[in-house]
Amino acid sequence: MGPLAQPTPSAGSTATDHRQGRDRSPDPAARLEMTGISVSFGGVTALSDVSLVVEPGQVHGLIGPNGAGKTTLFNVACGLVRPSAGEMTWRGSAVRKLRPHQLAGLGISRTLQGVGLFAGMTVLENVMVGAHRHARAGFASALLALPRSDSDERELRARAAAALADLGASRYADRYPGGLPYPVQKRVALARALVADPDLLLLDEPASGLAEDEMHELGELIRTLSGRMSVLLVEHHMDLVMRVCDQITVLDSGRQISAGTPAEVQADPAVTEAYLGDDVDVEADAAELSAAGEGGRHRD
Ligand SMILES: Nc1ncnc2c1ncn2[C@@H]1O[C@H](COP(=O)(O)OP(=O)(O)OP(=O)(O)O)[C@@H](O)[C@H]1O
Ligand SMILES: [Mg+2]
């Protein structure tokens, strides 16, 4: 793959045109603000006074070495973790005691780290669960969330099928997720998040386990989506992050160590230092970070 193009925020407008009735500009109110968020698990402080704003229609990256607190902050945004301090505002209203099943009603969708599909449902049914306004996290409640009337069911089915088609996964509609390659499962999980046509999409490591070309496609897709929704993206793959994000927040050991545009973050010595101090997949990440700064070379 050649040097990475830098798509502009408007680059996705043609790609969204074919989406049935879903071509729209981002809602200017679709702003997520997290202020002074702290989380502790038992005695361990996982996050300390972290703040970020996902602006309407922008892709906001959340990066940092393993254990930095990215998933924890992400889980606060989706109501899976209750912060011990801090505030969250969505669409200008304070969100308190958020529960995961309220997300859909708020116009928020998420994919979790890993895949998290229901093994006992077909791919199409999995995506249909995402389309339901009151979809819940558990398998039993997911079953309950499936439509009752035939016309509801037809409409949901059609929307789920369209979401799968958008992600090039139509041919797997009747398969069960367990037997499918990991990248396909990730596409299905993304289709399930997108089918509700959210105003805010929360993605935790959507590129993990993807090959280079799939990652490139994912980047294009995220850029396209940002034309019509706000995205919070947790991701380790630096070239992807640098390519698709408008703004980036960097965490290390539960603290915010840097924030700004991709160029600003890349130029911040605190960021490189944090990555070099970590001993897991950090050397690769740090190399990728500097490679991304040199014109977006890919890691092999
Ligand atoms: N449920 C939990 N109970 C106790 N400690 C936790 C829990 N979840 C996370 N932690 C701890 O909180 C810290 C932040 O973890 P978190 O999963 O948010 O990091 P991360 O940045 O997402 O890491 P990774 O890149 O590996 O996904 C870590 O020290 C982790 O061990
Ligand atoms: Mg994580």
Of residues 28 and 83, more confidently modeled: 83
* Structural domain boundaries in the chain: 117-197
Q: Distance from the CA of 279 to the center of ligand 1, in angstroms? A: 16
Integer Cα distance of 93 and 70 in angstroms = 23
* Average pLDDT value for residue range 16-30: 55
Assess whether pLDDT exceeds 80 at residue 287: no
Rounded to the nearest angstrom, the gap between the alpha carbon of residue 58 and the centroid of all alpha carbons in its chain is 12
Assess whether pLDDT exceeds 80 at residue 70: yes
Q: Which atom of ligand 1 is nearest to the CA of 68?
A: 21
Take atom 9 of ligand 1 and give the residue whose Cα is closest: 72
Take atom 28 of ligand 1 and give the residue whose Cα is closest: 67
* Average pLDDT value for residue range 97-115: 82
Angle of CA points 31, 36, 279, to nearest 5°? 100
Q: What is the largest CA-CA distance in the chain?
A: 58
pLDDT bracket for residue 288 (50, 70, 90) = low
Mutate to test the pocket of ligand 1, among 34, 41, 45 (most ligand atoms within 8 A of CB): 41
pLDDT at 100: 79
Please state at what angle helix 150-166 crosses helix 182-194, rounded to 10 degrees. 130
Q: How far is CA 199 from CA 109, 110, 125, in A?
A: 8, 11, 22
pLDDT at 235: 93
Query: Environment class of residue 179 by beta-carbon count within 10 Å: exposed (0-12), middle (13-18) or buried (19+)?
Result: exposed
Of residues 94 and 132, more confidently modeled: 94
> Global pTM?
0.80
Find all residues with CB under 8 Å of 263, minimum gap 6, and list them.
Answer: 293
Mutate to test the pocket of ligand 1, among 44, 47, 63 (most ligand atoms within 8 A of CB): 44
Find all residues with CB under 8 Å of 220, minimum gap 6, and list them.
Answer: 7
Q: Distance from the CA of 68 to the center of ligand 1, in angstroms? A: 7
Integer Cα distance of 218 and 281 in angstroms = 21
pLDDT at 159: 87
Find all residues with CB under 8 Å of 243, minimum gap 6, and list them.
Answer: 4, 6, 7, 219, 223, 292, 296
Integer Cα distance of 133 and 131 in angstroms = 6
Residue 53 · residue 252 · CB < 8 Å:
no
Integer Cα distance of 72 and 60 in angstroms = 16
DSSP bridge pairs for 259: 249
The per-residue pLDDT for range 186-243, each reduced to its tens digit, is: 889 999 999 888 999 999 998 888 888 889 988 988 998 887 899 999 998 988 999 9
- Give the lowest-confidence range in 109-118, 262-271, 272-281: 272-281
| pLDDT-above-90 percentage for the chain | 41
Among 201, 231, 186, 21, smallest CA distance to 107 is for: 201
pLDDT bracket for residue 147 (50, 70, 90) = low
pLDDT at 137: 44
pLDDT bracket for residue 283 (50, 70, 90) = low
Integer Cα distance of 106 and 118 in angstroms = 23
Assess whether pLDDT exceeds 60 at residue 94: yes
Work out the mean pLDDT of the chain and round it to a whole number. 80
Q: Distance from the CA of 73 to the center of ligand 2, in angstroms? A: 9
Residue 83 · residue 76 · CB < 8 Å:
yes
Assess whether pLDDT exceeds 80 at residue 23: no
Assess whether pLDDT exceeds 80 at residue 291: no
pLDDT at 240: 93
pLDDT at 14: 35
Among 10, 91, 61, 43, smallest CA distance to 262 is for: 61
Q: Distance from the CA of 235 to the center of ligand 1, in angstroms? A: 14
* Average pLDDT value for residue range 26-35: 87
The per-residue pLDDT for range 125-134, each reduced to its tens digit, is: 999 887 765 4
3-state helix/strand/coil string of 162-192: HHHHHCCCHHHCCCCHHHCCHHHHHHHHHHH
Structure tokens at 101: 């099943």
Integer Cα distance of 241 and 70 in angstroms = 14
